[in-house]
Amino acid sequence: MGVAIEVKGLRKRYGPLAAVDGIDFSVEAGSVFAFLGPNGAGKTTTTEILEGLRNRSEGTVGVLGFDPWADGGTLHRRIGVIPQDFRFFEKITPREAIEYYRALFHTAPDPVELLRRVELADKADARFDSLSGGQKQKLGLALSLVNDPEVCFLDEPTTGLDPHARRSIWAVIRQLRKEGRTVFLTTHYLEEAELLADRVAIIHHGRIIASGTPGHIIEQFGGPERLRVEAPPELAGYLASHAGVVARAEDGHVEVELRSKEDALKVLSAIDASGIPWQGFETVHDTLEDVFVRLVGQMDEGALRSEAAP
Amino acid sequence: MRPAHIFADFKVVARTYFRNPVALFFSLIFPIILIALFGLIFSSTGSSSVTLAVVNEDHNSSESVAFLAALNQTTLVKVQVENVAPGDFASWLGQNDYPVGLVIPAGFQANYTNHTATNLTLYTDPQDAASSGQVEAAVIGVTNQFNLNAVCTAGSCAPIIGISSANVGSAVYTYIDYLIPGLIGFTILTSPMFSMVDVASSYRKDGIFRQLSLTPLTRAEWLTSRILWYIVLTFVSAGIMIGTGAYLFNAHVLVTVQLIPFLVAGPFLFVSLGMLAGSVARTPESAALIGNIITFPMMFLSGTFFPVSSFPPGLQTFAHVLPLYYVIDGMNQVMLFANSARALTDVAIVLAIAVVFFLLSIRLFKWRDE
């Protein structure tokens, strides 16, 4: 599989402010790539540059080999886009909207079939202004598929949606991947990225601070795996002195860092030997969200510290 | 430009319109209200005819008497012949509270029969535009009738008297006749201007232009589909106004194919201008302001409700720089005076301005940000 999106040294300046400050990444064709970052980090700016909606200040960008700003006309026939907060003509129904796009793109998907795919077939003849937020977003998704795109850009497609609507959009994203399409996704929900994405990149203050598979990022930036035991706090002290492990007590349980599988066996037999009553145990590890919060938090603290320095 | 794209977008515009009761009201019902309202206020029902003081320097020659009789028959004016020296006439009119006065020059009959230029002098009071407009419509109408007869004699037509007696009364213009081209012009201006200015700024704010920029639709195709839609609306509302005028007020206007270029070029011009105004504005509020600044002077000063020739000279000059003036003047030439040559000049001016506005607005309105 080749590369669908290639970004090198991308910068976007608004006056003295750099919204995107020299980023590089590439997205393999047929994969789901999640682009994460706190609000104002440069996610939407980057996405809009890739979609050809915004020009860049510096760097090279290739989507399916095209420069999105210069070759937008050609590129737009081969990509699908749902912008953040999708809006459309208020008095037009989903069926009519798809027919409109069909005529513009000279394609012939069946409107009802397409709406069924995004679970909107029952609203095919309702006017856009009567649709809920989730239904509007689903229409955006359906419209982005009218031209049978090779790359789909979804900018926060599930923001503000109820859990059911989110799950149905996830199902569509999985289906898109299965069909061999490339999906470029931005989201606030780290759980969503972890579930759907082959690779993620985290952008903060216009720079990419971590990238790779979710597992790789967690491994690289997350804490070690931990054994969590439901037991009174004195167990922490006992394990520290008798098993030589790092243990801490909090909220009615004790957490022990595991450096290896052997550690787990050692800790469990030490607990058994301690005679301290315990209920159950589980192993826990950092999620992408834990890592994200930690990384972003560290960077902001660092920034505050350097600002405070004379 | 691909017709399939324009047609697809046209369907969206039409549906949006038909599903919006306010828009429908303004394009279909409002013209009827306009015609009915102005027709009721200004249409001549005998009692509302304006008294026209006349000084006849041609000493009651038969042509001058016939001319005055024709004026009386319009029922717009009631001719009252006065014996005043022409030099004192203007001040005499003011002293005696006459808003309008007419001087028929000496030698009127002789000049008329020899086809030599002769000048009527019409005194009007700019403060009383209603009476002035009404009288002017009557005098222009009768003068045209007489001139047509004269031209006909110069060729190989029928004799003067025969033609004039046959036509007086039916081919004379009343205020309502004059009002119809004016009000058609009024809707050609207002309906696209108000809505396009709003569309230009709100579509940008709502991201609909960005959404469209991701499709193969071009800006020129998009604007063309709007223009086509307003052309259709203009035909419908012009038809409604002509019909209402004829049915309610017995209006007589000429409806010929020469009207078509104005019903096409007019919307072309004002859809483009509305888009241009909406594109240069940064916010919907400033767009509305710019739209109003452009629209309001044109709405009243282009000959919509009263003839431009009844304006004071300064305002007349100003009216000539307003694009709507040429739309309305052209329709007057077609519908009232059957003056094709001047109508052709008018439509050429309208088309030229429209092309410039169209190209400018396509250049200036952006789907996407830099």
Q: A74-99: per-residue pLDDT in tens?
A: 999 999 998 888 899 999 999 999 99
Answer yes or no: do A38 and A55 share one domain: yes
Which residue(s) pair with A66 in the sheet? A63
| Residue A143 included in any domain | yes
Answer yes or no: do A135 and A183 share one domain: yes
Partner-chain residue, chosen from A54, A77, A87, that has the shortest CB–CB distance to B369: A54
Within 8 A by CB and 6+ apart from B148, the residues are: none
Report the CATH number that the domain containing residue A264 is assigned in CATH. 3.30.70.2810
Rounded to an integer, the average pLDDT of A126-135 is 93
Answer yes or no: do A258 and A201 share one domain: no
| Residue A307 included in any domain | no
Q: pTM for the full model? A: 0.75
Answer yes or no: do A57 and A193 share one domain: yes
Answer yes or no: do A99 and A186 share one domain: yes
CA B6 to each of CA B12, B238, B253: distance values in angstroms, whole numbers, following the listed order: 10, 24, 34
User: Does B216 reach chain A within 8 Å, measured CB to CB?
Assistant: yes
pLDDT (tens digit per residue) in A194-211: 899 999 999 999 999 999
| Residue A94 included in any domain | yes
| Residue A17 included in any domain | yes
> What percentage of residues in chain B have a pLDDT greater than 90?
32
Within 8 A by CB and 6+ apart from B44, the residues are: B74, B75, B76, B134, B174, B175
| Residue A66 included in any domain | yes
Rounded to an integer, the average pLDDT of A262-274 is 83
User: Does B15 reach chain A within 8 Å, measured CB to CB?
Assistant: yes
Least confident range of A2-11, A119-128, A251-260, B4-13: A251-260
pLDDT (tens digit per residue) in A37-77: 888 888 999 999 999 999 999 999 999 999 999 998 899 99
Domains in chain B: boundaries: 3-42+175-364, 50-167
Answer yes or no: do A64 and A27 share one domain: yes
The whole-angstrom separation of Cα A51 and Cα A63 is 8
The whole-angstrom separation of Cα A65 and Cα A62 is 5
Domain final residue, candidates A220, A238, A268? A220
Residue A147: pLDDT over 90? yes
How close are the terminal C-alpha atoms of chain A, in Å? 51
Record: contact B12-A96, CB cut-off 8 A: yes
| Residue A111 included in any domain | yes
Rounded to an integer, the average pLDDT of B151-161 is 43
Answer yes or no: do A256 and A200 share one domain: no
Record: contact B8-A85, CB cut-off 8 A: no
Backbone angles phi, psi at A225, to 5 degrees: -65, 150
| Residue A60 included in any domain | yes
Structure tokens at A55: 């020009």
Answer yes or no: do A238 and A154 share one domain: no
Residue A129: pLDDT over 90? yes
Answer yes or no: do A91 and A170 share one domain: yes
Within 8 A by CB and 6+ apart from B60, the residues are: none
Mean pLDDT over each residue of chain A, to the nearest integer? 89
Answer yes or no: do A237 and A268 share one domain: yes
The whole-angstrom separation of Cα B368 and Cα A60 is 19
Answer yes or no: do A202 and A101 share one domain: yes
Report the CATH number that the domain containing residue A29 is assigned in CATH. 3.40.50.300
The whole-angstrom separation of Cα A252 and Cα B224 is 71
Record: contact B207-A87, CB cut-off 8 A: yes
Record: contact A83-B207, CB cut-off 8 A: yes
| Residue A151 included in any domain | yes
Partner-chain residue, chosen from B8, B214, B217, that has the shortest CB–CB distance to A81: B214
DSSP3 helix / strand / coil % (chain A, rounded to 5): 40, 25, 35
ipTM: 0.83
Counting DSSP H helices and E strands in chain A, the numbers are 11, 13
CA dihedral A88, A93, A94, A95 (to 10 degrees): -140
Give the strand order in the sheet containing B100-104: B77-81, B50-56, B100-104, B121-124
Q: What is the pLDDT of residue B173?
A: 61
pLDDT (tens digit per residue) in B234-275: 999 999 999 988 888 878 788 899 999 999 999 999 999 999
Name the residue range of residue A240's domain.
Answer: 224-284
Architecture of domain B50-167 in this structure = 3-Layer(aba) Sandwich (3.40)
Residue A304: pLDDT over 70? no
3-state secondary structure A51-113: HCCCCCCEEEEEECCECCCCCHHHHCCCEEEECCCCCCCCCCCHHHHHHHHHHHHCCCCCHHH
For residue B285, give how far its alpha carbon lies from the nearest alpha carbon of chain A (Å): 21
pLDDT (tens digit per residue) in B23-37: 888 878 888 888 888
Mutate to test the interface with B, among A91, A127, A147 (most CBs of B within 10 A): A91
The whole-angstrom separation of Cα A170 and Cα A176 is 10
